[in-house]
Chain A
Amino acid sequence: MFDDLQELYQQVILDHSKSPRNFRRIEGATRIAQGHNPLCGDNLTLYLVMDGDVIRDVSFVGDGCAISKASASILTETIKGKTKAEVEELFEKVRTMVTTGEMSGSNLGKLAVFAGVHKFPARVKCAILSWHAVKAAVAGEAAPVSTE
């Protein structure tokens, strides 16, 4: 029905937006970061349990469009067990992918479903919101982030 939209709304994205993974609060989280795009109405809160530089657990709650929710959901699956430095490296790769579509040699795994976003410039900020939030969280920044 919407063949041209399959690239943006891949099945994996629709699945994660309807049934987001790690969709819960973590009592005793060591870092909490908020991502808010007031124009869109995307409003996500990420919870991290950090052990030194390593992310032991991560979750999120909130509301937003399919892209922002799926992005946060897949983010939580991806970064568990990763270090601060690895998250920062991933952030750069994800940003490059969603703004340019470029991901050669990036080894992004499931995150590659967001490559289609670069053709929808108005939606880049939705895909990148949770990544800005997690980047702020691992850096220990407390202020809410926005990608608008």
Chain B
Amino acid sequence: MSSPTPDWSALRKDFPILDQQVHGQPLIYFDSAATSQKPRIVIDTLRHYYERDNANVHRGIHELSNRATNAFESARERTAKFIHARSVDEIIFTRGTTEGINLVANAWGGKFLKSGDVILLTEMEHHSNIVPWQLLAERTGAKLAYIPVTGDDGLLDLSKLDALLTRDVKLLAMTQISNTLGTVNPVAELCERARKLGIVTLVDAAQSAGHSLVDVQAIGCDFLAFSGHKICGPTGIGVLYARAERLAEMPPYQGGGEMIVTVDFHKTTYKQAAHRFEAGTPDISGAIGLHAAMDYLDAAGRDKIFAHDQALAQYAYERLAEFKNVRLFGPKTGRAGLVSFLLKDVHAHDLVTVADQRGIALRGGHHCNQPLMRKLGVESTARASFYFYNTRAEVDFFLEVLCDIQKFFGA
């Protein structure tokens, strides 16, 4: 915590993609909540792997296979450190947050949930933390319940928690940071409440893992999932943390190579976790690229990154609040690095199209949060999401463009 604040403008130069013009304007990338850009070290690590070390893992005897295996397993160790897992065996590589949640729903949920059980979610979950549970509920007869969101200010209504935490609740799954509202949820507090009642917990860390320090032991969750591509790593790689006790009781997710000890025509024995949950050739280069991304982020300091992103989002939020005919979503203070909003009489997609012509990449739509959108009574919002490579000058230009958009559409 005592390390100096990074030189953000120097770090920005590590991202080759940001140095370009879009529609004749300097690119302003405000869509990092969808996917982050990649620093040169991650791109170089991928190239080096494919140019020098590429081979399959865990079965080769030759030199390249040893190198690839060592690099892949070293990425697992790095990931355990990144989220402060007790053991490297608690780290399962997946394709991303979505696959991590599906793995839990299938392997853990398929074994332990039965008819009448309740899966407790929150109303601000991404579709990826709703649909796998709906599928599980359909298979098992379990039911879904939701911790409500208060309204436009986007907080969880914890006054309802006592009533919701019934003895039928077997699993609580929630996001740490809302991708639509920017809300930072008190996941450690919620996990503690759940644990006392014997409820298993899952945290969706897709928006938090690369933007803040994430400590699975401090949170006290049973499962935590995140994606590599949102934290400066490659697409196609993700991480599922699973507490050792949970892994020990879980059957395999997918069957195939890499996850077996012996296979007979009628009977197979499986490896221990985490390999038991990684059937088939994994995304080797993805894990190695993710390792480079984690080193990069921690060299900058994720606590510093959070403060930077939060300051930009708070600034954007406060300046937007001065606009006429604006509707803002999410908490007034303490938000993570994004702002979701609507301008009256300007549809989000028109806004995003015009901003794009000014070089600004925004997101407009339902942000994979359709039930929340319906609750808030909107079809879509526009969202600007920030990362440490974004600057206050970019936010100022964005606000200028929004003023022009209001004039253009006569709003």
Binding site for B on A (CB under 8 A): 1-2, 4-5, 8-9, 14, 18, 38-43, 63-67, 120, 122-123, 126
Residues of chain A lying within 8 A (CB to CB) of residue B408: 1-2, 5, 9
Q: Does B347 contact A (CB under 8 A)?
A: yes
Q: Mark B335-372, 1 if CB is under 8 A from A, else 0.
A: 00000000001011110011001000000111000100
Asked, given contacts A2-B357, A4-B357, A5-B357, whether A41 binds B349 with beta carbons under 8 Å apart, the answer is yes
Q: Nearest Cβ distance between residue A47 and chain B, in whole angstroms?
A: 21
Residues of chain A lying within 8 A (CB to CB) of residue B350: 9, 65-67
Task: Find out whether the CB atom of A5 lies under 8 angstroms from the CB atom of B354.
Answer: yes
Task: Find out whether the CB atom of B347 lies under 8 angstroms from the CB atom of A65.
Answer: yes
Task: Find out whether the CB atom of A43 lies under 8 angstroms from the CB atom of B379.
Answer: yes
| 27 A-B pairs with C-beta separation under 8 A | A1-B404, A1-B407, A2-B354, A5-B354, A14-B409, A38-B366, A38-B370, A39-B365, A40-B349, A40-B365, A41-B366, A41-B373, A41-B379, A41-B380, A42-B379, A43-B379, A64-B347, A65-B347, A65-B349, A66-B347, A66-B350, A66-B409, A67-B349, A122-B353, A123-B349, A123-B353, A126-B349
Separation of A17 and B347 alpha carbons in the complex (Å): 10
Task: Find out whether the CB atom of B410 lies under 8 angstroms from the CB atom of A8.
Answer: no
Residues of chain A lying within 8 A (CB to CB) of residue B348: 41, 65
Separation of A41 and B369 alpha carbons in the complex (Å): 12
Query: In chain A, what residue has the closest Cβ to B405?
Result: A2
Separation of A40 and B364 alpha carbons in the complex (Å): 7
- Contacts between chains A and B (CB distance < 8 A), count: 57
Q: Nearest Cβ distance between residue B278 and chain A, in whole angstroms?
A: 33
Q: Mark B185-228, 1 if CB is under 8 A from A, else 0.
A: 00000000000000000000000000000000000000000000
Residues of chain A lying within 8 A (CB to CB) of residue B353: 5, 8, 120, 122-123
Q: Does B48 contact A (CB under 8 A)?
A: no
Besides the known contacts A9-B350, A38-B366, A41-B373, 9 further A-B residue pairs in the complex with CB atoms under 8 A apart: A2-B354, A2-B408, A4-B23, A5-B353, A39-B365, A40-B364, A42-B379, A63-B379, A65-B347
Q: Nearest Cβ distance between residue B359 and chain A, in whole angstroms?
A: 12
Query: In chain A, what residue has the closest Cβ to B24?
Result: A4
Residues of chain A lying within 8 A (CB to CB) of residue B373: 41
User: Could you say which of B354, B366, B410 contacts A39, with CB atoms under 8 Å apart?
Assistant: B366
Task: Find out whether the CB atom of A18 lies under 8 angstroms from the CB atom of B380.
Answer: no
Q: Mark B372-386, 1 if CB is under 8 A from A, else 0.
A: 010000111000000
- Most central of A39, A41, A64, A66 by chain B CB within 10 Å: A41
Separation of A32 and B409 alpha carbons in the complex (Å): 30
- Most central of B345, B349, B378, B407 by chain A CB within 10 Å: B349
Separation of A5 and B366 alpha carbons in the complex (Å): 24
Q: Nearest Cβ distance between residue A43 and chain B, in whole angstroms?
A: 7
Q: Nearest Cβ distance between residue B370 and chain A, in whole angstroms?
A: 7
Separation of A7 and B379 alpha carbons in the complex (Å): 26
Residues of chain B lying within 8 A (CB to CB) of residue A126: 349
Asked, given contacts A4-B357, A64-B347, A126-B349, whether A40 binds B409 with beta carbons under 8 Å apart, the answer is no
Separation of A38 and B366 alpha carbons in the complex (Å): 8
Q: What are the 3 A-B residue pairs with the smallest beta carbon separation, nearest first?
A: A41-B379, A41-B380, A65-B347
Q: Nearest Cβ distance between residue B244 and chain A, in whole angstroms?
A: 40
Separation of A55 and B347 alpha carbons in the complex (Å): 30
Residues of chain A lying within 8 A (CB to CB) of residue B347: 41, 64-66
Q: Nearest Cβ distance between residue B325 and chain A, in whole angstroms?
A: 14
Q: Nearest Cβ distance between residue A35 and chain B, in whole angstroms?
A: 13
Q: Nearest Cβ distance between residue A83 and chain B, in whole angstroms?
A: 33
Separation of A8 and B357 alpha carbons in the complex (Å): 11
Separation of A65 and B350 alpha carbons in the complex (Å): 6
Separation of A42 and B364 alpha carbons in the complex (Å): 12
Residues of chain B lying within 8 A (CB to CB) of residue A40: 349, 364-365, 379-380
Separation of A14 and B408 alpha carbons in the complex (Å): 9
Q: Nearest Cβ distance between residue B159 and chain A, in whole angstroms?
A: 31
Residues of chain A lying within 8 A (CB to CB) of residue B349: 40-41, 65, 67, 123, 126
Q: Nearest Cβ distance between residue A126 and chain B, in whole angstroms?
A: 7
Query: In chain B, what residue has the closest Cβ to A41?
Result: B379
Residues of chain B lying within 8 A (CB to CB) of residue A42: 379
Residues of chain B lying within 8 A (CB to CB) of residue A43: 379
Query: In chain A, what residue has the closest Cβ to B373?
Result: A41
Q: Nearest Cβ distance between residue A114 and chain B, in whole angstroms?
A: 14
